[in-house]
Structure 1
Amino acid sequence: MKNIKNQKTSITVITGFLGSGKTTFLSKYIKYLQKNNENPAVIVNEYGNLDIDSHAISNDIEVVSILNGCVCCDLQLDLIKQLKHFLSKSATRHIIIEATGLAHPIDIIAACQDPEIVEQVSPPTVIGLVDGPRFLNRGQYTKHTIQLMEEQLAVCHAIVMNKMDLIDHNKQVMDMAVNEINPTASKYFTTYANLSMDNIHITSDNSGVKASTHAHHHGINSVNYHFSGPINRQLFYQFILRLPDNVLRLKGYVKFRDMPNDIYEFQYAFGLPDYQIVDEALPLTLVIIGEQLDENKLRNQLDMLQFT
């Protein structure tokens, strides 16, 4: 895998439905990063309360398990906490998150670009694993499960189509089906997740795609904005209520001029805003994640809040 190096810590999210070969790929990926002196650390998410995957990983790196839930929803705060833990260690240059097969990467991407850490990390790279036979037979599952399987692939920068020895005669069908979901991700056919990591071409800072330098190939991009001080409360409320439909997530911390000593945490998802006062000193930063966001328009609107 060829990455453009920078001062920020790299994050790779390994996603894919249950049984697709994520842990097998992870073990090989860790060895590759160690060989390149990237000193990786790993966060493994298990949906149940039994930690299996972390025991299959190299003993000479730090591995943290998050159990009893999914890091894309009820355990998102735990994920941010663990990311902050690794970021506090100057030797850690690369953090890998192996998500449970039931996780949606969009929410993990949001956690990786939380306002508290967004200045310390590069935009996350998402690598998806596909169980070839299961994917081709996905019609047997519920509509919700099929949607999850496909949405996991839709946000990937690279897709590893695994277990191809079991569907060799359907390789073209497989390729066409995956390409329809995500035509821009680089794709690799494997058995037992065997491939040369040097052949995976990903630019970790996404410099090849223009949209706030946080763009993903598939159209998901983000904008982070820092406020220098308190802003007008009513104008901010209007901004939140007028967010376009392509905004998927928003999280950030703001101060208002009518109560300049209080810091508010704001979140926005599925069209619904939520906020609360927090008791700690946090950066006055807002992170917006969505599909094909108009960065210039959003920044102009935020500038109006900042300077009006």
Structure 2
Amino acid sequence: MKDVYLFSGFLGSGKTSMLTDVIRQLKEKNLKPAVMMNELGKLPFDSQVVEKDIPLKEMLEGCICCSGAEKTEAQIQSLLLDSNFDVLIIETTGAAHPVEALDAVYSPLFADQLNVKGIVTVVDTKLWLHRQTLTPQVRSLFMEQIRHAHLLLANKMDLLTEAEQGQAVYELQGLNPHAFILQTTNGRVPLNLLEDLKATAQVAKKEIIKAPLSAMQLGSCLVEFTGKEFTQEQFEEWVRTLPDTVYRMKGYVPIEGIKNPMLFQYAYGMVQWLPEYLKMPAKLVMIGENIDTVPVIGFN
């Protein structure tokens, strides 16, 4: 399986500096990185820092977390088929919500080939201390990126006084008590700290694997349907029993009387069914908090 890291963080927080340093460390360990980079503009400014020998996929003028999700799937599939790499790093745009971005990474087509280690959020600590200057919508996104991280980099600490440093770390810990907080400058993070992350489920065939969250809130599991079919009503009845902490589900569900498993998508209480004209693998990815407590009786 390929390890995957999702780098999150607000605009200008230092994600690209972290990316270049992590690539350097991976290459020093003779590990081959691949990079997927999401940028809002037409020109790939940040991607110019990635060396030519590293497989790179770019998402320009689009967001991994919304209409670009299908393109993201195609890009990852292309990397898996065409490139030789050990570790995939996905750097999201500063405007991406981490749950949405994580959702876009998962696909039933290749979920069993990827081991998502976790979300690493870089925090501009000076901006954090002045977050009240942001609009409510932007401030909310800023805080969501922090709240859902598995590892927090309290960056630009050199710009703060000692008292401000203590205040920033204390407040970040209060917002996300489950994440390890590393105080840093220039986005520097030791590779071993990333490698120790264990955010999501390892996948085994014909089993429902629970996510070993290790006190981390956001995780996933992969459900594989082995010879069982449902009616849409039966399946949606089960969906209604799920807790609000299940944010996303997507995959292909075998429905009685229909030749190919149907594409099923769920987001914050909304359900969508779409016919599928190819026979896709009957798998479903679930993303949420405390996903290991979700009841899945009758689905294995």
TM-score by length of 1: 0.88
State the shift of 1:165 in Å: 1.2
Cα distance, 1:236 vs structure 2? 1.3
Cα deviation, 1:191-238, whole Å, max 9, x if unaligned, reads: 22234434556234668xxx8135374312222111123512131132
Q: Tell me the equivalent position of 1:272.
A: 270
Separation in 1, partners of 2:184, 2:236? 50
* Alpha-carbon spacing, 1:161–1:84, altered in 2? closer, same or farther (3 Å): same
Contact 1:214-1:223 within 8 A present in 2 as well? no
How far apart, in 2, do the equivalents of 1:75 and 1:41 lie?
19
The number of residues matched between the two structures is 291
- Residue 239 of structure 1 corresponds to 238
1:43-54 aligned at under 5 Å gives the runs 43-54=36-47
Q: Distance in 1 between matches of 2:107 and 2:212?
A: 13
Partner of 1:3: none
Which residue of 186, 189, 194 maps to 2:188? Answer: 194
Taking the aligned partners of 1:245 and 1:182, their CA distance within structure 2 comes to 19
Q: Mark the CA change 1:90 to 1:213 in structure 2 (over 3 Å): closer, same or farther.
A: farther
Match for residue 74 of structure 1? 67
| CA distance 1:52–1:216, shift in 2 (3 Å) | farther
For 2:82 and 2:215, the matched residues in 1 are separated by 30
1:290 aligns with 2:284: no
Question: What's the counterpart of residue 118 of structure 1?
Answer: 111
> Paired residue for 1:219, among 217, 220, 238?
217
Any stretches of 5+ residues in structure 2 without a counterpart? 202-208
Kindly state the Cα deviation for residue 72 of structure 1 after the two structures are TM-superposed. 0.9
Structure 1: 5+ residue stretches without partners? 1-7, 304-308
1:113 is displaced (CA, Å) by: 2.5
Which of residues 118, 130, 139 in structure 2 aligns to 1:146?
Answer: 139
More divergent stretch after superposition (147-156 vs 187-196) = 187-196
The aligned counterpart of 2:204 is none
Give the partner amino acid of 2:123.
V
Give the 3 Å change call, closer, same or farther, for CA 40–148 of structure 1 in structure 2.
Answer: same
Q: Percent identity?
A: 30
Extract structure 1 runs of 4+ deviating beyond 6 A: none
| Aligned match of 1:185 | 179
- Structure 1 CA distance for aligned equivalents of residues 198 and 26 of structure 2: 14
The residue correspondences of 1:35-114 to structure 2 (distance < 5 A) are 35-89=28-82, 91-114=84-107
Greater mean deviation of Cα atoms: 217-226 or 140-149:
217-226
Q: Which residue is 2:257 aligned to? A: 258
Q: Following the alignment from structure 2 to structure 1, what is the Cα–Cα distance between the partners of residues 230 and 198?
A: 36
What do residues 47-92 of structure 1 show as CA deviations (whole Å, max 9, x unaligned)?
1222110002222212111011210111111111111112224621
1:107 CA drift (Å)? 1.7
Counterpart Cα distance in 2 of 1:99 and 1:177: 24
The amino acid across from 2:33 in the alignment is P
Counterpart residue identity of residue 293, structure 1? I
